[in-house]
């Protein structure tokens, strides 16, 4: 029953959507300094509310322990003074980002004198659906506000008390600074029906961004009738070409897989050109760094520590210290493997041959394609975008790391002097 | 039964999708001159196949008459030498458009030396679902090809013979010029299950563009699991401000409604400021141009020809010589009416007051917002975009008239010299 939409929940979301639309109208016209000022006030209110936020979080933590949450989930849920300061300074960092709203994408004058101007505007109302990390309440709310969008936030039930406390502080700051109280709303109920109601709120919510594990994203993509900006898999490849620098190949293979194994930019499959002189040091370095290697007989022959790979390995995002390794015939072989098994997220070539690199950069159909760099750089912060709302693996609207610009659209202004169409 | 997905139809669409993906890989790497050359060869083949196309069309027309198609539908279906020449020259016009693929959207160098470049690339595989106009086969196919996308076309059953003949000519020209035969595919079956299979072909079709009447677009939006670039309603407003030039107001009100009443850019509701000195000449000119006027008592008092408006009139896209008229309190009243009843397509203000115009241009949340111009200019050709694949009333990805650029996305290239992430 709790999974079904109920009329009450639908009415609640519809009411929140209408209030969000009204707030969005105000936000769309707010100058950048006013939005930045509202965010700085929200950051100050977060700092001032530290005690209340920690008390709410302690209740969530106690309930989480009683409900048997895993240690990893409890760590994601936990707030401490340092993490609260991180939220506040994160909001201030968003306030310092360049505001894309109002920028002119292009302008042309037609022979009849009409001036056409394409101008960035906010999307409108953004729904964010997330899991146990309460800091998303602050991060996502700040990004939506700075880009002139109203936000409807729906966090995980295990973090509801923390989220309420953070949200209360945010709104207190916003209102003090003259921004609408409904600019950032938190869904007050925790039943899953609220998610369903958000996903079908056509005309009320303009875009939904799921932030969480695969099962959440998959549910959102399966049920949504509103557009979704989603990140699905990061089955990323690093390809060592025959013309790769051997020392760089060792260093980047280890970094791309092992620096942090749990992030979406981590390499999951290493492709090595059969023409590459000496793959053994790469495998040895990975094994010595603690990585489990999986490959077919050809790869197993290179290093006794390589385990047999199954068919599924080529389509698996491990997110841990496991790497599938395959030998391929040159850049064409690498591109064929990536086309068959990749997830269009991030893929890299290591080579000193510029023509081969150009072939790979052009031919690989992924959001991010790299040359002689670690796939772990697939991150909005590393791209210089400031905070990111997520990394999109879809093809439309925004691709790769999505920050403020991805939360905007445009409209056409047509400036005339009385032109009628002949 | 014919409306249901059948395994056979799903397999057919899946097979077409796989072949389209292979063709898209080739098209994505084709230089602009090669794509233009392929389109010119396709145009030549259309001209050379005139006899076969006319013969096929005659069969469709005979079947259409036997099946009792309306005169309007038969007119849309009809081909003659002039319309075939129009198709061929339309393809040539697309071949002359600037190719957006490969253009660099932005480039930045990070402190660690990584160069980030965002480059336009084709979306991939585009599905076009349309009704009885066979010229869409040529228009849409050409736009997809010039933007480097493979197209899967599904036309109306009443035009299937014409579409097959046009498609055969297109492919003949493409192949002669060295483009892949699967660059433009036509769904060979006419049952509605093919539409359902296209709408759920996630991973095979990257975007669907419905081109047709409201019932088609509504079905596509309701059923689609793949992204849709759709045009729904054009409930457009022209607002005559108190500071409007009276002669311009008469001329543009008549042009915006009556130049062509059946196009999506036609004005459907006229809003007049209560502060505007003399609305009577506007109503008189519209009535004399043959327009039926509908309004409330206040408007009826201005002209005896005004009929009573019902509540539905404010939410109706007439697409004929009928106009709803309402008096409002200034630009704020106009914006409130548009927010409540508009369809986010095209809305215009007529005023000599630049501040009032700026308020309207900023505050109206529509794809196209005009100042002192006829809403009938809402058209890709009038915008100087060349041919358009459609006008989007959605907010994401592309908004307003969509031409080649709207059929592209981007990818991030990251160019390094061996950078590992610290």
DSSP A268-329: EEEEEETT-S--HHHHHHHHHTT-EEEE-HHHHTT-TTPEEPPGGGGG----SSEEEEEEES
Is pLDDT at B391 greater than 70 in this prediction? yes
* Mutate: best of B233, B368, B395, B409, partner A, most A CBs <10 A: B395
Topology at the third CATH level for domain B7-229+402-414: Aldehyde Dehydrogenase; Chain A, domain 1 (3.40.605)
Tell me: ipTM over 0.85: yes
CA distance linking residue A242 with residue B417, whole number of Å: 17
Answer for the pair A228, A126: CB distance below 8 angstroms, yes or no.
no
Weakest-pLDDT range from A1-15, A272-286, A295-309 = A1-15
3-state secondary structure of A173: helix
Is pLDDT at B398 greater than 80 in this prediction? yes
CA distance linking residue A365 with residue A362, whole number of Å: 8
The per-residue pLDDT of chain B, averaged, comes to: 94
- The strand pairing partners of B326, in sequence order, are B271
Pairing verdict, β B390-392 and B400-402 = antiparallel
The dihedral of CA A413, A416, A421, A422: what is its sign?
Answer: negative
* Mutate: best of B243, B348, B416, B417, partner A, most A CBs <10 A: B416
The dihedral of CA A32, A37, A38, A40: what is its sign?
Answer: positive
pLDDT score recorded for residue B268:
97
**Structure confidence by residue, pLDDT tens digits, A26-51:** 999 999 999 999 999 999 999 999 99
pLDDT score recorded for residue B2:
41
Give the domain ranges of chain B: 7-229+402-414, 236-377
CA distance B127 to chain A (A): 14
Q: What is the mean pLDDT of residues A95-113?
A: 95
Residue in B with minimal Cα distance to A407: B396
Answer for the pair B248, B276: CB distance below 8 angstroms, yes or no.
no
Residues of A in contact with B233 (CB under 8 A): none
- Of the candidates B95, B83, B171, the one whose C-alpha atom is nearest the C-alpha of residue B133 is B83
CA distance B303 to chain A (A): 24
Nearest to A371 among B377, B416, B421 (CB): B416
Residue B311 corresponds to which tokens in the numbers above? 């509540």
Is pLDDT at B307 greater than 80 in this prediction? yes
pLDDT score recorded for residue B381:
87
**Structure confidence by residue, pLDDT tens digits, B157-190:** 999 999 999 999 999 999 999 999 999 999 998 8
Chain B contacts in chain A segment 285-304 (CB below 8 A): none
pLDDT score recorded for residue A6:
62
Gyration radius of chain A's alpha carbons: 24
**Structure confidence by residue, pLDDT tens digits, A258-274:** 999 988 899 999 999 99
CA distance linking residue B45 with residue B87, whole number of Å: 11
Determine whether B224 is exposed, middle or buried from the number of CB atoms within 10 Å of its CB (0-12, 13-18, 19+): buried
pLDDT score recorded for residue B6:
62
Residue B9 corresponds to which tokens in the numbers above? 């139809």
Is pLDDT at B331 greater than 90 in this prediction? yes
CB atoms under 10 Å from CB of B385, counted, come to 20
CA distance linking residue A375 with residue A236, whole number of Å: 8
pLDDT score recorded for residue A308:
97
DSSP-assigned letter for residue A331: H
**Structure confidence by residue, pLDDT tens digits, A176-220:** 999 999 999 999 988 888 999 999 998 899 999 998 888 888 888
**Structure confidence by residue, pLDDT tens digits, B337-372:** 999 999 999 999 999 999 999 999 999 999 999 999
pLDDT score recorded for residue A2:
42
Helix or strand run (H / E) with residue B10: helix B7-28
State whether residue A413 sits within 8 Å of chain B by CB.
yes
* Mutate: best of B411, B415, B422, partner A, most A CBs <10 A: B411
CB atoms under 10 Å from CB of B110, counted, come to 15
Query: Percent of chain B having pLDDT more than 70?
Result: 99
For A123-231, strand residue ranges (E) read 125-130, 150-154, 184-186, 207-211
Residues of A in contact with B380 (CB under 8 A): none
CA distance linking residue A343 with residue A345, whole number of Å: 5
- Of the candidates B274, B281, B227, the one whose C-alpha atom is nearest the C-alpha of residue B250 is B281
CA distance linking residue B262 with residue B241, whole number of Å: 26
Which residues, at least 6 apart from A23, have a Cβ–Cβ distance to it below 8 Å? A150, A180, A181, A182, A183
Q: What is the mean pLDDT of residues A93-118?
A: 95
pLDDT score recorded for residue A89:
95
Q: Band the pLDDT of A3: cuts 50, 70, 90.
A: very low
Nearest to A396 among B377, B396, B412 (CB): B396
Residue in A with minimal Cα distance to B229: A396
Q: What is the mean pLDDT of residues A120-130?
A: 96
Q: What is the mean pLDDT of residues A307-325?
A: 96
The per-residue pLDDT of chain A, averaged, comes to: 94
What CATH number matches the domain at B236-377, 3.40.309.10, 1.10.3720.10, 2.40.37.10, 3.40.50.720? Answer: 3.40.309.10
Phi, psi at B128, each rounded to 5°: -115, 125
Provide the whole-model pTM: 0.91
CA distance B331 to chain A (A): 15
- The strand pairing partners of B324, in sequence order, are B269, B294
Is pLDDT at A146 greater than 50 in this prediction? yes
Q: How far apart are the first and last CA of chain B?
A: 60
Is pLDDT at B1 greater than 60 in this prediction? no
CA distance linking residue A394 with residue A229, whole number of Å: 7
């Amino acid at each position: 029953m709790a999974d079904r939409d109920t009329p009450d929940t639908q009415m609640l979301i519809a009411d929140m959507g209408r209030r969000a639309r009204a707030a969005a109208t105000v936000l769309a016209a707010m100058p950048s300094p006013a939005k930045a000022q509202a965010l700085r006030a929200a950051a100050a209110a977060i700092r001032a509310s530290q005690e209340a936020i920690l008390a709410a979080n302690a209740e969530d933590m106690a309930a989480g322990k009683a409900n048997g949450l895993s240690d990893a989930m409890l760590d994601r849920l936990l707030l401490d003074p340092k993490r609260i300061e991180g939220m506040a300074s994160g909001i201030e960092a968003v306030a310092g980002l360049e505001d894309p709203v109002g920028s002119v994408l292009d302008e042309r004058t037609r022979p009849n004198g009409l001036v056409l101007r394409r101008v960035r505007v906010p999307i409108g109302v953004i729904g964010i659906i997330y899991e146990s990390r309460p800091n998303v309440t602050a991060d996502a709310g700040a990004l939506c506000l700075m880009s002139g969008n109203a936000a409807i936030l729906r966090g995980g039930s295990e973090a509801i008390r923390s989220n309420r406390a953070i949200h209360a502080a945010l709104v207190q700051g916003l209102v003090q600074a003259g921004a609408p109280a409904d600019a950032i709303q938190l869904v007050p109920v925790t039943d899953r029906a609220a998610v369903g109601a958000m996903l079908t709120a056509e005309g009320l919510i303009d875009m939904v961004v799921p932030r969480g594990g695969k099962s959440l994203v998959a549910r959102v993509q399966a049920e949504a009738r509103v557009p979704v900006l989603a990140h699905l898999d990061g089955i990323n490849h690093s390809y060592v070409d025959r013309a790769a620098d051997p020392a760089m190949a060792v260093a980047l293979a280890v970094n791309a897989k092992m620096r942090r194994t749990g992030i979406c930019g981590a390499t999951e499959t290493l492709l090595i050109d059969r023409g590459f002189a000496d793959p053994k040091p790469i495998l040895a370095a990975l094994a010595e760094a603690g990585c489990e290697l999986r490959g077919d007989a050809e790869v197993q022959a290179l290093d006794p520590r390589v385990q047999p790979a199954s068919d599924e390995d080529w389509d698996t995002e491990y997110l841990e210290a496991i790497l599938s390794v395959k030998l391929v015939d040159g850049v064409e072989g690498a591109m064929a493997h990536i086309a068959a098994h990749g997830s269009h997220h991030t893929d890299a070539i290591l080579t000193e041959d510029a023509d081969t690199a150009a072939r790979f950069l052009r031919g690989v159909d992924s959001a991010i394609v790299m040359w002689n760099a670690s796939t772990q750089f697939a991150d909005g912060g590393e791209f210089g975008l400031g905070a990111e709302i997520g990394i999109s693996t879809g093809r439309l609207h925004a691709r790769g790391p999505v920050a403020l610009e991805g939360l905007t659209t445009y409209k056409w202004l047509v400036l005339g002097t009385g032109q009628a169409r002949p």
